[in-house]
């Protein structure tokens, strides 16, 4: 009808956010946090380039919902990471955004109080403050890039980024990845196919122009040069894809596409059939492949928390069990510690065979 609005028909409310610059000024980097992020990014790049023979281990909760429990977990992980750092580079999973198959809690940034108030401004503030806490203690962080706006608020504190199985086929996320400042791992498709991730790697390597917001919150077109460090993350699908046959198939697919043959194996999700009890089995299998001479596997992922399993969302967040995931089920801390110590013990023996060849001197 004449006069009826044709815009924002289904929008109930609009709430302005602080700009990325305002959040960064409120919670600024320090010399120590910059060093943590920079050194971790360089370590990941050197591992991907085969210049550093250590193994990458991305370990932590499926999602962050309780910052007190997450801080306790981080302190434990940092202490353990120092014990095994000569063979394993540990980065903590700090996933503040969660993709949903249908509906559900979308993560700490979206709804930090878990009460449907959707205080995304507070989610961003608290997320950045927590990332600074980790970086200050010397523990680097990994995340999943889901919303294309949040990197302007947080990406300077992230050492490694994942693009999930649901979004590896998204043009928006492929373009975004081409401009991100850290290595990016693309997960294989939900059905287990490699092609979505391989196509995403090809796209992320290339220059792109895409929409985004500046530090001042202004809409802009970003021209990206391309990300030199995209790689595939095998997370399973209809069936697991961590066994030697699947690894070989992925190696052949990467080589056929003219891409570096390097991969990270996710020990959870489709590879464990979302059974945390099977993560140890996956990790042991992958470690055995490395011991047998595999050189394409450069890292592993574990979903881990203070306590075992998962719990449903509660009407009253105060009634949630401390240290228990509210998304995917996780292994507990004692299991995490035992697995990483065993990985360290076994991998340090195999590591000399992964040293880069010495460059011959001038004749």
Q: Provide the CATH number for the domain around residue 93.
A: 3.20.20.70
358 in any annotated domain: no
pLDDT confidence tier of residue 355, bands split at 50, 70 and 90: confident
245 CB contacts (<8 Å, ≥6 apart)?
none
264 in any annotated domain: yes
> What is the structure's pLDDT at 325?
97
Q: How far apart are CA 224 and CA 83, in angstroms?
A: 38
C-alpha separations of 277 from 108, 174, 241, 244, 306 in Å? 26, 33, 17, 21, 15
> What is the structure's pLDDT at 110?
95
Task: Report the predicted TM-score, pTM, of the whole model to 2 decimal places.
Answer: 0.95
Q: Is the pLDDT of residue 185 over 80?
A: yes
46 in any annotated domain: no
C-alpha separations of 206 from 85, 213, 361 in Å? 33, 21, 35
On whether the CB atoms of residues 256 and 271 are closer than 8 A, the answer is no
> What is the structure's pLDDT at 352?
92
Q: How far apart are CA 266 and CA 246, in angstroms?
A: 13
49 in any annotated domain: no
Q: Is the pLDDT of residue 199 over 90?
A: yes
Q: What is the mean pLDDT of residues 143-152?
A: 96
1 in any annotated domain: no
Q: Is the pLDDT of residue 4 over 90?
A: no
194 in any annotated domain: yes
Closest CA to 98 of 87, 85, 111: 111
pLDDT confidence tier of residue 103, bands split at 50, 70 and 90: confident
> What is the structure's pLDDT at 127?
98
Domain that holds residue 91: 22-41+54-351
> What is the structure's pLDDT at 238?
95
Model confidence pLDDT, tens digit, residues 33-72: 999 999 999 999 999 999 999 999 999 999 999 999 999 9
pLDDT confidence tier of residue 3, bands split at 50, 70 and 90: low
Closest CA to 260 of 287, 227, 293, 292: 227
Q: How far apart are CA 264 and CA 238, in angstroms?
A: 18
Q: What is the mean pLDDT of residues 212-240?
A: 97
Q: Is the pLDDT of residue 225 over 90?
A: yes
Q: Is the pLDDT of residue 20 over 60?
A: yes
pLDDT confidence tier of residue 166, bands split at 50, 70 and 90: very high
C-alpha separations of 90 from 10, 11, 190 in Å? 44, 43, 26
> What is the structure's pLDDT at 282?
98
> What is the structure's pLDDT at 102?
72
Q: How far apart are CA 42 and CA 45, in angstroms?
A: 5
> What is the structure's pLDDT at 36?
98
114 in any annotated domain: yes
> What is the structure's pLDDT at 363?
36
β-pair partners for 304 = 331
Q: Is the pLDDT of residue 362 over 60?
A: no
3 in any annotated domain: no
pLDDT confidence tier of residue 99, bands split at 50, 70 and 90: confident
pLDDT confidence tier of residue 100, bands split at 50, 70 and 90: confident
Total number of domains constituting the chain: 1
Q: What is the mean pLDDT of residues 184-194?
A: 97
Q: Where are the beta strands (DSSP E) in the chain?
A: 55-60, 88-93, 141-144, 160-163, 184-187, 208-213, 219-224, 230-234, 263-266, 297-303
Q: Is the pLDDT of residue 134 over 70?
A: yes
> What is the structure's pLDDT at 359?
59
């Amino acid at each position: 009808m004449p006069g009826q609005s044709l815009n924002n028909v289904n929008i109930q409310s609009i709430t302005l956010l602080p700009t990325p610059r305002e959040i960064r000024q409120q919670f600024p980097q320090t010399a120590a946090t910059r060093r943590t992020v920079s050194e971790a990014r360089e370590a990941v790049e050197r591992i991907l380039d085969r210049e550093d023979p250590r193994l990458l281990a991305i370990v932590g909760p499926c999602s962050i919902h309780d910052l007190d429990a997450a801080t306790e977990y981080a302190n434990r992980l940092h202490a353990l990471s120092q014990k095994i750092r000569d063979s394993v580079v540990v980065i903590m999973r700090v996933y503040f955004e969660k993709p949903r198959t249908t509906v559900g809690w979308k993560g700490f940034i979206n709804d930090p109080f878990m009460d449907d108030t959707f205080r995304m401004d507070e989610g961003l503030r608290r997320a950045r403050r927590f990332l600074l806490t980790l970086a200050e203690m010397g523990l680097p962080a990994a995340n999943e890039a889901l919303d294309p706006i949040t990197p302007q608020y947080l990406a300077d504190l992230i050492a490694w980024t994942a693009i999930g199985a649901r979004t590896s086929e998204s043009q928006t996320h492929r373009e975004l990845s081409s401009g991100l400042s850290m290595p990016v791992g693309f997960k294989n498709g939900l059905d287990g196919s490699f092609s979505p991730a391989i196509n995403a790697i090809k796209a992320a390597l290339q220059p792109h122009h895409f929409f985004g917001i500046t530090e001042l919150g202004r809409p802009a077109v970003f021209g990206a040069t391309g990300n030199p460090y995209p790689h595939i993350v095998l997370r399973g699908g209809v069936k697991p894809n961590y066994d030697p046959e699947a690894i070989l198939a992925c190696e052949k697919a990467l080589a056929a596409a003219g891409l570096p043959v390097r991969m990270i194996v996710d020990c959870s999700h489709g590879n464990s059939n979302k059974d945390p009890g099977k993560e140890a089995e996956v990790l042991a299998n992958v470690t055995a492949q490395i011991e047998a001479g595999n050189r394409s596997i450069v890292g592993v992922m574990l979903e881990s928390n203070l306590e075992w399993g998962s719990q449903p969302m509660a009407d009253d967040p105060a009634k949630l069990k401390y240290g228990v995931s509210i998304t995917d089920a996780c292994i507990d801390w004692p299991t995490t510690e035992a697995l990483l110590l065993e990985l360290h013990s076994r991998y340090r023996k195999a590591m000399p065979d992964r040293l880069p060849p010495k460059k011959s001197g001038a004749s």
